[in-house]
Amino acid sequence: MSKPPSRSAGGRAGSGSRMMFETVKTAKKRKPSSTRWLQRQLNDPYVHEARKLGYRSRAAFKLIELDDRFHFLERGARVVDLGAAPGGWTQIAVNRVGPKGKVVGMDILEYDPVPGAICMQGDFLADDSPDRLKAALDGLADVVVSDMAAPTTGHPATDHLRIIGLVEVALHFAMEVLAPNGTFVAKVFQGGTEKTLLDMLKRNFTSVRHAKPPASRKESAETYVVAMGFKGVSDQDADWRDDRETNEAE
């Protein structure tokens, strides 16, 4: 069975530890699917490692692995974390940017504050949320990360459109707040981004890559788009920004 690398509090590689496989008996009032989920959790090395290191979720390792590969969480960077609950990604961002950096997180769910970060509860799709984030950030961002996911319907095509819709809204926000050469990271489903969204990313960033970090379960359809080197909003994409400013003025 594979295991993740052990990490220090700063999210760097160390030595791992072996774990025994545990089986879970089906209780009378527990559905078989719940039993399978519980058994998977008990035997997931990332879950064990997250608990040992005090990370709030195994998802913290996804950001660790993405940053280890692409190196966007630099010391002193300013980061916006969308879909932040329960705070695992925020923890890693705070550790990696250090005390001279700044991390602002938001989620529709209430979650405990992360030391060293500004944590906000709110629906990112609400009209006032982008302005709340900008006020907390108080300047430009170097990185915008989004681990947001829409509730699944079980219909792959519908679920894909929902997640792409979230990515588009997050991207529009990122292009409003990113500093030159900034980075945008967002969760998408396998199959990557749709052509319209991918073309927008390529017009406005110098590098656009898709990556599935090892901590993402093999059976999961999720993957991540990593767009680096923000060039500023292209003339072709300026209309949406002008429309937003007009609507705000009205």
Positive or negative, the CA dihedral 63, 64, 66, 71 is positive
Distances in Å between the Cα of 129 and the Cα atoms of 92, 111, 124, 126, 156 are 23, 17, 5, 6, 28
Residue 94 CB neighbours (<10 A): 24
187 given a catalytic annotation: yes
The label of the residue with tokens 């079980």 reads 154
**Complete edge-to-edge strand list for the sheet that includes strand 205-211:** 118-121, 102-107, 78-82, 141-146, 178-189, 222-230, 205-211
CB 148 within 8 A of CB 82: yes
Cα(59)–Cα(29) distance, integer angstroms: 29
Given the residues 62, 100, 102, 187, the one annotated as active site: 187
- Residue from 68, 73, 112 nearest 95 by CA: 73
Tokens of 239: 């209309």
Cα(247)–Cα(196) distance, integer angstroms: 23
Q: Annotated catalytic sites, by residue? A: 187
